Amino acid sequence: MSQIATRILGIESSCDETAAAVVENGERILSSVVASQFDIHRKYGGVVPELASREHLRQIVPVVREALEQAHIAYQDVAAIAVTQGPGLVGSLLVGLTYGKSLAWALGKPLIAVHHLEGHVHAVVLEEKQKHPGAMIAFPAMTLVVSGGHTVLYFVEREPPAGHEDAAYFSYQKIAQTQDDAAGEAYDKVAKILALGYPGGPVIDRLSEFGDPNKVAFTRAVIKRAAPPDGSGRSQYDFSFSGIKTAVLRYVRTHGLEAEAEERRRMSAGKPAQNSLEITGKESLAGKPDVERLRALSSQHTLDLVASFQKCVVDDLVMRTLDAAEQYDTRTVLVSGGVAANRLLRASFEQECRIRGLRVYFPSRHLSTDNAAMIAAAAYPKFLAGTFADIELNADASLPLG
């Protein structure tokens, strides 16, 4: 008996990307549209919440329409509408959530609430299903979600109920989180200190190629290790990235790199926009930093600093995740979220997992950063289970998971 196609419309607006996607049976992306707001926030070096919600309001209707058009389906053809409920910026979340609720009500379709980080976990599984249809990653998995807003480790188990043995039902146990800044936030703040533009991750990723990662002696000690469990609620695997950001700032001041940063800032002011609508399968300009120009404006000293910062952060993410994987006896490691697009992070995870005999999986770049395909995919098992939200659903900026 052939399976009836269940097409879920996913909507994501938790931070600075307005995204909509249609995913069939939780495993086939029919469309995925992302409108980024980099240009709007670039001059502030970070997301400005009020501007983000205003831009979501402008983008939400055309982005959803575009997702349906690309999927070649009409509004009535969707089986359900999935929205990100949280965590995130409340004003941003409310735009996608309210629009999704209205659409579900007007169309008479079920509404499904999705946790943003659950979406990032499903991005890895979805990627694997795109590449190897029918294959299923072996669980349990130690899962690192590392982005601009989050750095969290989850122990993820697959627990499909009877009758749905193949479906991606997961349970989540939080193992560790950041005590202060998220790793992506550290990338963005270091890029702001050095006037390398926003978001900082993609540009630091590319510029690091030209620097010596061992030149500036940031040891992992700059990233404080939390004390072992002592009743304070901290985990020995917790992360901390505010120390390294401060160490970079201090280094810039004590080594006379401020004037050079100021010059880059001056030269970048008024630079034309580079983004912004990203569509699956097409190269986007978003996240493609002006590397050659920035490289020409950077001394070798700055390039070495950037590469050393990146190596320190990447080593810490990899080692802490893999130590936790061994401690919890998981043979599988999943890495997701915007920072998972980082090339050194991927190479380091791959190399270290090979040595330790673990399997590691990442989403493609499009599925690593915020998108709505991951929200629609995460909603599919909830659809099968009949876990629907009602019209009272509200956004929750600090929604817990596990």
What is the contact surface with ligand KG4 in residues (CB under 6 A)? 15, 147-149, 184, 187-188, 199-202, 205, 337-339, 341-342, 369-370
Q: Cβ–Cβ contacts within 10 Å for residue 282, how many?
A: 8
Smaller CB separation from ligand KG4, 155 or 187:
187
Write out the DSSP string of 37-101. -HHHHHTTTS--HHHHHHHHHHHHHHHHHHHHHHTT--GGG-SEEEEEEESS-HHHHHHHHHHHH
- Burial of 375 by CB count in 10 Å (0-12 exposed, 13-18 middle, 19+ buried)? buried
Residue 103 interacting partner from Zn ion, ligand KG4, none (CB closer than 5 to 8 Å by kind): none
Cα 216 to chain centroid, rounded:
28
Contact partner, 154, from Zn ion, ligand KG4, none, Cβ < 5-8 Å per class: none
Torsion of CA 324, 328, 331, 332, to 10 degrees: -60
Provide, rounded to whole angstroms, the least separation between the CB of residue 299 and ligand KG4.
Answer: 22
Min. distance of Cβ 133 from ligand KG4 in angstroms?
26
Asked if 48 and 90 touch (Cβ cutoff 8 Å), the reply is no
Q: Which stretch binds Zn ion (CB under 5 A): 2-10, 75-83, 101-109, 368-376?
A: 368-376
87 binds, among Zn ion, ligand KG4, none (CB under 5 to 8 A by kind): none
> Any contact of residue 370 with Zn ion (CB under 5 A)?
yes
| Nearer residue to ligand KG4 within complex by CB, 137 or 306 | 306
Measure the N-to-C terminal CA separation of the chain; round to a whole number of Å: 36
Amino acid (1-letter code) at residue 338: G
User: Tokens 């627990």 belong to which residue?
Assistant: 159
Q: How far is the CB of 287 from ligand KG4 (least distance, A)?
A: 6
Cα(170)–Cα(156) distance, integer angstroms: 6
What string marks each residue from 322 to 361 as x (binds Zn ion by CB under 5 A) or -? ----------------------------------------
CB nearer ligand KG4, residue 91 or residue 149: 149
Task: Give the nearer residue to ligand KG4 in terms of CB position, either 127 or 205.
Answer: 205
Q: Is 81 within 8 Å of 372 (Cβ atoms)?
A: no
Q: Which of 31, 32, 59, 147 binds Zn ion (CB under 5 A)?
A: 147
Determine the interface stretch with Zn ion among 20-28, 282-290, 295-303, 367-375 (rule: CB under 5 A): 367-375
CB of 372 to ligand KG4, least distance (A): 12
Q: How far is the CB of 181 from ligand KG4 (least distance, A)?
A: 10
* Residue 371, Cβ density class (10 Å: 0-12 exposed, 13-18 middle, ≥19 buried): buried
* Identity of the residue, 249 or 291, whose beta carbon is nearer to ligand KG4 in the bound complex: 291
- Please name the helix (run of DSSP H) or strand (run of DSSP E) that holds residue 102, with its range, or none: helix 90-107
> What is the spatial distance between Cα 207 and Cα 20, in angstroms, rounded to a whole number?
31
CB of 18 to ligand KG4, least distance (A): 12
Q: Which residues pair with 282 in a beta bridge?
A: none
Closest distance of CB 335 from ligand KG4, Å? 12
Residue 252 and residue 238: Cα distance in Å, rounded? 27
Nearer to ligand KG4, 25 or 368 (CB): 368
Minimum Å gap between C-beta 165 and Zn ion is 29
Name the token pair of 67. Answer: 């997702």
The entry of Zn ion, ligand KG4, none near residue 383 (CB within 5 to 8 angstroms by kind) is none
Please identify, using beta-carbon distances, which residue of 147 and 330 lies nearer to Zn ion.
147
> For binding to Zn ion (CB under 5 A), which residues are involved?
147, 370
